Amino acid sequence: MAIKHWHITERPREKLLNHGVASLSDAELLAIFLQSGTAGRSAVDVARDALGHFGSLGKLLRTDRQKFCAFNGFGEARFTLLQAAMEVSRRHMLESIQHSDVLSSPKDVRDYLSLNLAGLPHEVFSALFLDNRHRVIAYEELFRGTIDSAAVYPREVVKMCLSSNAAAVIFAHNHPSGVAEPSDTDVRLTRKLMDALALIDVRVLDHLIIGQGVQTSLAERGLM
């Protein structure tokens, strides 16, 4: 049955307007973006099928263009719409941390880094470059790797800090396994980067490991 024939209290758009966006399930939220279903199936039905097929909303949003468009009921128009929505979220969250001391809003920083890194099928090592008041100058993905590692070159990190005129930096990288426990290699790399950046008076404030729905701070663990 098409959504327009549902009782008004059950329609996703009306639920959002009357009860807020948090009242919607993942399938209902996705259905709003899909706007319509397929023959004999509502947008919510298609959304539920898609979530079952891809595994979760996060995995669906991280799916590449070819696999996304190959799913029945999807296509390039819907792919571009969801990618644009993701980028709007990223830019909104970046704006929220750009104009204040990031140390006063650690949750916003973690949410932003998670949005960029969680769920990726390969490791990405990134950095938030900060000024002397700990405001964000820029976010950069510095190195990309494989499913379980990424080569990080301190010389290149030093060059990026100098070119952005950073006074401090927060590093982050994801673990595609979803487990956010830091490895011995992560700890050794962090200390190596701290030593290299100390020579140019740039402070490393933290190194966050991003897993699936969880983040681990090396600073909070006393590992740096």
This prediction's pTM: 0.76
Instruction: Report, as an integer, the average pLDDT of 100-112.
Output: 87
| pLDDT for 148 | 65
Q: Nearest 5°: CA angle at 85, between 83 and 89? A: 115
CA distance 143 to 49: 35
Alpha carbon distances (Å) from 96 to 31, 51, 100, 112, 204: 28, 30, 8, 9, 21
For 147-191, the pLDDT digits (tens) are 667 788 999 999 999 999 999 999 999 999 889 999 999 999 999
The whole-number pLDDT of residue 57 equals 87
% of the chain exceeding 90 in pLDDT = 52
The ranges assigned to domains in the chain are: 3-74, 101-217
DSSP 38: B
Q: Does domain 101-217 correspond to CATH entry 3.40.140.10?
A: yes
